[in-house]
Structure 1
């Protein structure tokens, strides 16, 4: 089964050369994973985006447990704003996605303690080549305005979330400058397909850095 958008974003956040996670976006990775989940629900038709708010399709439920949990957090009676949906229970997101990837054999996790007191968690990719290929696919999507227009919606969404979330393992600042025309097109397309999500992601990042969320 194809990994979900949150699962792909988690894997993309891992530096396959240094065998560690991107340190820049660590503080708000849960927000970005929720943004990816909400985006997948939109692209899959289980949510409708209107004026920066999310309207649920109450007749359908996703098979993926994490997507289902994110969807269940939205009221079936009143549209919710992305700016509230992205940070909602974000502290649970990374663990939920990580456990899914352990279960499907994508990663292994070793737990330990430093000085016998402080818990540690070491993640190892089981298929680093697949992660590198995924990263190349997302890179290819933003190289030119043409590639943005023809790339799969999920690849464009991953590019948009990774760029706004400063996930340097996906795009370094130099690459974002190099592909600036492509990124302009990425944000335009993402804004059409998932209206209001970019504002919510940027707000979550800013608030987290400021220590207010």
Structure 2
């Protein structure tokens, strides 16, 4: 699937059996979109770690509008904390990715008002097989019995973020518990390739969940 990682992250949250976005990650999907974008940018060479901070490597920007938005939070002469890059504008990230997928026909997002008051979107994936193939590929990073060192780093990152965000369309709580050692090994692979990103996402998710329960 030749799509930016945040687009893939959004599609992983789609329940192809129920025909809707799953709910367990609702509170933190913005952070998941941001973290996936940061991973994409870092793996593509637009960002790098410099003394524990995210540094932009060029004044150019990628073609994808959301990747460009995330990258443009940084200037080449001002590195920022990884947490700040992940957490910045988290509240608009999901809608931005959703609208991009809608504009390209990957999904349809029909807006309506629940009870006549609250705006909601009815999301449809016209090609459910597309979502199923993506999900099984990412699940395979943890459940496929592979050596974590040989897993595509993109799949390892998506699997790790899905576990961090409790995206249950990808992994159930039982699967997470049953495969703890593999989960840890895949996360370690992500930490090597994308230093500090997983921890930044953890902090951002914790801040959101704490705010929701306070």
TM-score (norm 2): 0.93
Following TM superposition, the consecutive aligned residue runs of length 4 or more in structure 1 with deviations greater than 6 angstroms are: none
Cα distance in 2 between the residues matched to 1:142 and 1:6: 20
Aligned to 2:116: 116
CA distance 1:174–1:51, change in 2 (3 Å): farther
Q: Which deviates further from its counterpart, 84-93 or 37-46?
A: 84-93
Cα distance in 2 between the residues matched to 1:117 and 1:173: 34
Aligned to 1:54: 54
For 1:135-174, list aligned pairs within 5 A.
135-143=135-143, 146-174=146-174
Aligned to 2:44: 44
Cα distance in 2 between the residues matched to 1:15 and 1:200: 27
Cα distance in 2 between the residues matched to 1:55 and 1:167: 29
Q: Which deviates further from its counterpart, 50-59 or 162-171?
A: 50-59
Cα distance in 1 between the residues matched to 2:47 and 2:145: 27
Q: Which deviates further from its counterpart, 2-11 or 117-126?
A: 117-126
Partner SS for 2:74: coil
Cα distance in 2 between the residues matched to 1:55 and 1:109: 35
Aligned-residue CA RMSD (Å): 1.8
Aligned residue pairs total 213
Partner SS for 1:58: coil
Cα distance in 2 between the residues matched to 1:118 and 1:39: 33
Cα distance in 2 between the residues matched to 1:69 and 1:124: 25
Partner SS for 1:105: coil
Is the contact made by 1:51 and 1:196 (CA closer than 8 Å) also made in structure 2?
no
TM-score (norm 1): 0.93
